[in-house]
Amino acid sequence: MTTNTVYKEVLMDHYRNPRNFSDVSQSEAVHRGSNPRCGDDIKIGVDFDGDNIGKIVFQGRGCSVCMASASMMTESVTGASKNEVLELTEQLREWFDEKQGDTPAPLETLFALDALRQYPARRRCVLLAWDALESIIQVE
């Protein structure tokens, strides 16, 4: 196995001990993200605090990348404004699509996703939670 493995400690930690992983049924706004291709299926729940993300939780099942990415997302966006989240989502997409550039991840908390940029096939796993959150904000 190459040293480039995506299964770095930080990612595995998020997968094994997902942050903010809990029932979304109490949240103000909920959106489901699913990828029938690999069976990833998660729900994101948000409580807003004015224009900001007050509380965010997620629930569901998926591969380690999908679950870890969702977990990292909840940590990254808590307290951020809607616009900040939308911008961050866009930055993350661009960063991911760059594949191997030197650009660091838009947030330090997301750095563990770096190795995945070589694998365009994992794009959807990484972005599933982010897409769902974006939908929530756009609907609001």
Partner 1 sequence: MSTNPYIKQTFNIQKQSQLIRKDFPLLNLYSGDNQLHYLDNAATSQKPQQVIDAISDCYQRVNAPVHRGLYALADESTTTYEKSRKKVAQFIGAPQSEQLIFTLSATESINMVAQGWLKHHLNAGDKVWVTGMEHHANLVPWQRVCKETGAELCFIELTEDGSLDLDNATELYSEKTRFIAMSHVSNVLGVINPVKEVTQRAAQAGIPVLIDATQSVGHIPVDVVELDCDFLAFSAHKMYGPTGIGALYGKADKLATMEPMLLGGGMVDEVGDYESSWASLPSKLEAGSPNLAGAIGFASAVDYIESIGLQTIESIVSELTEKALFALSNINGIKIYGPLDSERREGIISFNLDGIHPHDIAQIAGESNVAIRSGHHCCQPLMRRLGEVATVRASFAPYNIEEEINALLEVIETAQSIFMPR
* Smallest gap from residue 90 Cβ to partner 1 (A): 18
Distance separating alpha carbons of residues 110 and 94, to the nearest angstrom? 14
* Smallest gap from residue 130 Cβ to partner 1 (A): 17
Q: 3-state SS string over the chain?
A: CCCCCCCCHHHHHHHHCCCCECCCCCCCEEEEEEECCCCEEEEEEEEEECCEEEEEEEEEECCHHHHHHHHHHHHHHCCCEHHHHHHHHHHHHHHHHCCCCCCCCCCHHHHHHHHHHHCHHHHHHHHHHHHHHHHHHHHC
How many binding residues for partner 1 (CB under 8 A)? 24
Task: Verify binding: residue 30, partner 1, rule CB under 8 A.
Answer: no
* Smallest gap from residue 113 Cβ to partner 1 (A): 13
Nearer to partner 1, 66 or 105 (CB): 66
Task: Verify binding: residue 122, partner 1, rule CB under 8 A.
Answer: yes
- Figure out which of the listed residues 6, 57, 73, 126 binds partner 1, where binding follows CB under 8 A: 6
Stretch that binds partner 1, among 35-43, 52-60, 72-80, 83-91 (CB under 8 A): 35-43
Scan residues 48-77 and list those touching partner 1 (CB under 8 A).
Answer: 61-66
Residue 3: Cβ within 10 Å count: 6
Using CB under 8 A as the criterion, which residues of the chain lie in contact with partner 1 when the complex forms? 1-2, 4-7, 12, 36-39, 41, 61-66, 118-122, 125
